[in-house]
Amino acid sequence: MMKTIKAAFLALVSMAFVATAYADFTFVSWGGAYTMSQQKAYIDTWEPVKNGSTKVSVENYNGGLGEVKAQVEAGNVTWDVVDILPVDAINGCDEGLLETLDFSGFEKDGNKSFAESIEENGTGTFGPISECAAPQIFWTYVVIFDPKAFPGKKPKRMKDFFDTKKFPGKRGVHTWPQAVLEMALVADGVKPAKVNSVLQADGGTDRAFTKLEELKGHVVHWSAGAQPLELVSSGEVVMSIVYNGRAGAAILSEGASLDYIWEGQVLDADWVAIPKGSKNKDEAVEFLKHATSCASQAAQAKYITYMPMRSCGTKIIKKNEPWFHTGVNVMEHMPDAGSRLKKSVFTDPVWWADNNAELKEQWSAWMAGNK
């Protein structure tokens, strides 16, 4: 009798353990080639997934804090890890929508801490300045065009994007103000290294919006990462702002006919965070540790041309070129190749977090007047 009771008890314990181990884990990102790169580099290589003890569900969203806030306030959090922009991570942390993280448990690079290996990559401005999110990759808003659209002289500088007389045709521009204002100032003659100080000074945003008037009537707006590639390939626009990784993946994986205007590219980042009240917080933290490891960040660059936030990830790529999964070199398509960072703008996520709401209103009014 006792043996039977003991066996039944052990069976119940085992069932409870298995149910916990196999609880769904939800990862939320931006879709397309980007999410695919994360699936291959982070999810498929995570040991609990490889050994079958955890199932990861993937959902896509269009950014922002709306859904995270709704889940947290309703007390029904169904997302466990969210790929999030720095501006939203900072605001989300301030509003109590995200769990705080202890970076001391994240992978070191030799004697260098997690934060130090980010700063060493020359991208310290995107380092762990929020206690609620772990820096993952950095990328850029960059202008692309189809060389065949310009049989003669090709656009080379940011001012060419704004010159609709010299380079006629529609431009693809996203539906939020980040990067657009910085690019407008570069086109207006501000050196990339000085853009943030000019933008943030009195009259800086007004100057940017004044420059944007040159594009009135020549803009097609997009809101999803795949759209600018479709707009350019269809000929609906002759140039477009795009996420550099989407363009790089199209060129290297599909042979797309595209070229870049690297001057004035605006560097931004993606961080990963855990919504407050995640039912799988412990699992989520372990996943973040894996996703931000040197090897995982390097592995993502096999599928999309976004740079690791950590110098150790970059070293892996450089040492093992050709690194892209099609067997070609990837570094030449990266936003920090050669001297590109010297002519780039580093977005200021703290300033945008403080000013985003007001500028969104102004930008929405500008878009409405662009029709």
Q: Which tens digits make up the pLDDT trace of 162-190?
A: 999 999 999 999 999 999 999 999 999 99
Q: What is the maximal distance between C-alpha atoms in the chain?
A: 91
Beta strands in the chain (DSSP E): 24-29, 55-60, 81-84, 133-145, 171-174, 219-222, 239-243, 259-273, 307-308, 345-346
CA dist 148 and 343 (Å) reads 26
Q: Which tens digits make up the pLDDT trace of 203-248?
A: 999 999 999 999 999 999 999 889 999 999 999 999 999 999 999 9
Q: Which tens digits make up the pLDDT trace of 107-145?
A: 998 888 887 877 776 665 555 568 999 988 989 999 999
Look at residue 366 and tell me whether its pLDDT is greater than 60: yes
User: pLDDT band for position 22 (50/70/90)?
Assistant: very low
Q: Which tens digits make up the pLDDT trace of 59-76?
A: 999 899 999 999 999 999
CA dist 57 and 177 (Å) reads 31
Q: Range with the lowest mean pLDDT among 207-211, 261-265, 308-312?
A: 308-312
What is the pLDDT, as a whole number, of residue 16? 44
7 contacts: CB under 8 Å, gap ≥ 6: none
What is the pLDDT, as a whole number, of residue 207? 98
